[in-house]
């Protein structure tokens, strides 16, 4: 069948439309051609009809060029009517061209500004931090990175998320305020697209952090983002360190493979569950974790000290006046709180808690320890514990598993929830078969109803854990916390009715609800997203700290403990903190701070003091607690 021939006019119109679609440059070009097509012939008519026109052709062409170059000549020519009409026509064409050109330039600038607002330009930074994804954790991560860069010039944090650039900048600016010396740069686009990731210049970045987004498919999105990052960094040497977080353990291996050999992947639900259990067993421990993880105070660092080679670890504990030594990094593996007689090898790195990476200097403080002030009584055996778990979410089975692994004989865990019965019964049967002495019981009920809590003798429990529901897609992120806040109100009512304070540990999803919770400011509140954000920020500065935190927060390893001060120093004695360190060394522990009950209500840190100077002298009371690194 013969192909129908397209008319020349249609083809010309299509070609003209195609050139116009190329943008402002094509429009300016067409305007220039159309203008010259009218202005040059009109100028030629004006020159050739002028009685005083020069005789030679070259001079007349020069006059035509001069008239063409003149703009906004409104009727400048005189003489015959034809000359006046041509002059007016030339002025009108010039006005039309100038006004159209101004409009095109304005449109082009507007389009450029709109593109910039969309965040589609490539970042040209070096050594910056790249944050991929958007969730409640982004505020914590950016805030901590800004704090870590407080003493650095030219630092930058680049955030890429599938959101409007202006909205992200306003949200971060409203929540965090000033960014100090750090430049905040937002770019808009999907983090799972390898063609979009180069906008953040990940090849030149100092570190890349991948945040789990909100939603049921958060872990799958993290894996896809890591794969996209891997494709964007293909062939780059060296690749920047990558820090990511997933919720479920089943995605951790896939995320590690996608992150590469230098990547660090955290399992947020497991870490959160461990810290909630620790807080339930020792109230106030969450305040210590907050102090250790944020950049506002003292943090973990790895330092090399050749002068201590061959010395036993016990001597090193009193070798720094303003730093607390808690372990060794040997062959890439952490040894927290090793035996005091462990010798320091030349290749070992010391794990210390100090203000900054340049604030650790040697100073022998052994002479400050006063043996007469040390307590000699051993710690009493840990009694059986009674824990009440109110609510159920995806982290609840992990908490029960943590309690199961370290259960004390005769311990009781009662669960009150509306759902999760199958999982609870399955765990309960496993505990019964294990024979470890942990009694686990399920009570069905709505924890937001007063009658449910009245049926329980809540004051008979050593700790009460309040959990919120898992976020539901399509609902406000505040929804899970709403039920938690209602439950806390009911518990507060029980406290007021009996005049007895309840040892409550609360899990919240949104950090903004911390101020709304009807509990004391020094109570244990675990903000799961904020906690993982703090961990990611710490590891982003030194990825070798990931192994340190893994050991620190594990149920079986040497973790952070709060012990009565009377187990270390005599109550009422006034002595240096070096005395407490020496007393802890005799017990096989590393003392890193204390909590003063007298300052718990007035101090901005609620009485928690991490890494005090060894020369700090104070009077110790029976209500004080010592923060140590050790085992149960």
- Residue 171 has which token pair? 């949200």
Report pLDDT for 142.
93
pLDDT in tens, 289-312: 888 888 887 889 999 999 999 999
Percentage of the chain exceeding pLDDT 70: 83
Instruction: Please tell me which residue, 406 or 82, carries the higher pLDDT value.
Output: 406
Report pLDDT for 529.
82
Instruction: Please tell me which residue, 594 or 1, carries the higher pLDDT value.
Output: 594
Report pLDDT for 564.
92
Instruction: Please tell me which residue, 142 or 151, carries the higher pLDDT value.
Output: 142
Query: Which one of 355-359, 526-530, 547-551 scores highest in mean pLDDT?
Result: 547-551
pLDDT at 430 over 60: no
Q: Which residue has the tokens 């937002």?
A: 186
Report pLDDT for 72.
43
Q: CB-based burial of residue 210 (10 Å sphere; 0-12 exposed, 13-18 middle, 19+ buried)?
A: buried
Instruction: Please tell me which residue, 237 or 203, carries the higher pLDDT value.
Output: 203
CA distance 533 to 245: 9
* SS3 sequence of 312-345: EHHHHCCCECCCEEEEEEECCEEEECCCCCCECC
pLDDT in tens, 532-553: 999 999 999 888 899 899 888 8
CA distance 256 to 242: 10
pLDDT at 396 over 50: yes
Peptide bond into 33 cis (omega under 30): no
Report pLDDT for 61.
76
Report pLDDT for 568.
95
For the residues 506-512, what does the mean pLDDT come to? 85
User: Which residues lie closer than 8 Å to 534 by C-beta, 6 or more apart?
Assistant: 140, 144, 290, 293, 294
pLDDT classification of 105: cutoffs 50, 70, 90: confident
Instruction: Please tell me which residue, 433 or 362, carries the higher pLDDT value.
Output: 362
- Helices within 79-180 (DSSP H only): 81-117, 137-148, 165-176
Assign 588 to helix, strand or coil.
coil
Which of these, 340, 369, 318, lies nearest to 569 by C-alpha position?
369
Report pLDDT for 290.
87
- Confirm if 140 and 511 have CB atoms less than 8 A apart: yes
Report pLDDT for 207.
93
For the residues 187-197, what does the mean pLDDT come to? 92
pLDDT at 197 over 50: yes
pLDDT in tens, 232-274: 988 777 889 999 999 888 899 999 999 988 899 999 899 899 8
pLDDT at 96 over 80: no
CA distance 540 to 542: 6
pLDDT in tens, 205-226: 999 999 988 777 889 999 999 9
Lowest mean pLDDT among 68-82, 246-260, 572-586: 68-82
pLDDT at 134 over 80: yes
The chain-wide mean pLDDT, for the chain, equals: 83
- Confirm if 135 and 211 have CB atoms less than 8 A apart: yes
Q: pTM, whole model, 2 decimals?
A: 0.77
Report pLDDT for 74.
46
pLDDT classification of 1: cutoffs 50, 70, 90: very low
- Confirm if 174 and 96 have CB atoms less than 8 A apart: no
pLDDT at 33 over 80: no
pLDDT in tens, 437-478: 678 888 888 888 888 888 888 888 999 999 988 766 555 555
pLDDT at 345 over 90: yes
pLDDT classification of 283: cutoffs 50, 70, 90: confident
pLDDT at 131 over 90: yes
- Confirm if 580 and 367 have CB atoms less than 8 A apart: no
- Confirm if 308 and 337 have CB atoms less than 8 A apart: no
pLDDT classification of 617: cutoffs 50, 70, 90: very high
Q: CB-based burial of residue 535 (10 Å sphere; 0-12 exposed, 13-18 middle, 19+ buried)?
A: buried
pLDDT classification of 510: cutoffs 50, 70, 90: confident
């Amino acid at each position: 069948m013969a192909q129908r021939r397209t008319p020349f006019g249609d083809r010309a119109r299509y070609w003209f439309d195609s050139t116009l679609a190329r943008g402002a440059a094509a429009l300016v070009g067409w305007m220039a051609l159309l203008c010259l097509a009218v202005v040059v012939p009109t100028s030629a008519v004006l020159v050739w009809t002028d009685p005083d026109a020069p005789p030679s052709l070259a001079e007349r062409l020069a006059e035509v060029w001069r008239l063409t170059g003149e703009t906004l000549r409104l009727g400048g020519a005189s003489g015959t009517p034809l000359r006046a009409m041509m002059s007016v026509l030339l002025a009108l064409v010039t006005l039309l061209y100038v006004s159209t050109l101004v409009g095109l330039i304005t449109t082009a600038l507007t389009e450029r500004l709109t593109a910039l607002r969309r965040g589609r330009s490539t970042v040209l930074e070096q050594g910056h931090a790249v944050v991929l994804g958007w969730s409640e954790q982004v505020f914590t991560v950016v805030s901590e990175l800004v704090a870590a860069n407080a003493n650095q010039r030219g630092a930058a944090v680049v955030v890429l998320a599938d959101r409007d650039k202006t909205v992200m900048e306003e949200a971060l600016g409203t929540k965090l305020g000033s960014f100090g010396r750090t430049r905040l740069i937002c770019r808009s686009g999907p983090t799972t697209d390898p063609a979009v990731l180069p906008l953040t210049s990940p090849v030149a970045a100092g570190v890349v952090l991948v945040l789990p987004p909100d939603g049921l498919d958060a872990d799958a999105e993290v894996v896809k983002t890591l794969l996209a990052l891997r494709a964007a960094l293909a062939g780059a040497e060296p690749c920047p360190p990558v820090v990511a977080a997933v919720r479920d353990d089943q995605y951790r291996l896939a995320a590690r493979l996608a992150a590469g050999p230098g990547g660090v992947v955290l399992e947020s639900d497991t870490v959160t569950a461990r810290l909630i259990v620790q807080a339930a067993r020792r109230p106030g421990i969450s305040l210590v974790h907050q102090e250790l993880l944020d950049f506002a105070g003292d943090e973990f660092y790895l330092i090399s000290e050749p002068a201590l080679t061959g010395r036993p670890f016990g001597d090193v504990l009193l070798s720094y006046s303003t730093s607390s030594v808690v372990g060794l990094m040997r062959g890439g593996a952490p040894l927290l709180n090793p035996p005091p007689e462990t010798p320091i090898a030349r290749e070992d790195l010391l794990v210390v808690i100090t203000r900054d990476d340049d604030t650790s200097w040697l100073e022998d403080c052994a002479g400050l320890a006063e043996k007469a002030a040390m307590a000699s009584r051993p710690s009493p055996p840990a009694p059986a514990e009674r824990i009440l778990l109110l609510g159920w979410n995806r982290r609840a089975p992990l908490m029960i598993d943590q309690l199961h692994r370290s259960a004390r004989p005769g311990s009781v865990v009662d669960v009150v929830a509306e759902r999760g019965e199958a999982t609870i019964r399955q765990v309960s049967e496993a505990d019964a078969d294990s024979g470890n002495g942990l009694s686990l019981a399920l009570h069905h009920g709505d924890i937001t109803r007063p009658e449910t809590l009245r049926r329980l003798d809540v004051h008979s429990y050593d700790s009460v854990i309040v959990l919120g529901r898992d976020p539901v897609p399509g609902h406000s992120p505040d929804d899970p916390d709403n039920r938690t806040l209602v439950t806390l109100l009911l518990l507060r009512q029980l406290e007021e009715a009996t005049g007895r304070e309840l040892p409550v540990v609360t899990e919240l999803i949104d950090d903004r609800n911390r101020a709304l919770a009807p509990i004391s400011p020094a109570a244990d509140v675990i903000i799961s997203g904020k906690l993982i954000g703090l961990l990611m920020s710490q590891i982003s500065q030194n990825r070798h700290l990931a192994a340190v935190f893994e050991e620190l927060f594990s149920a079986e390893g040497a973790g952070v403990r709060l012990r009565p001060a009377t187990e270390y120093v005599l109550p009422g004695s006034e002595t240096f903190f070096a005395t407490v360190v020496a007393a802890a060394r005799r017990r096989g522990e590393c003392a890193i701070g204390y909590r003063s009950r007298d300052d718990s209500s007035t101090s901005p840190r609620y009485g928690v003091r991490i890494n005090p100077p060894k020369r700090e002298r104070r009077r110790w009371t029976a209500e004080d607690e010592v923060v140590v690194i050790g085992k149960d």
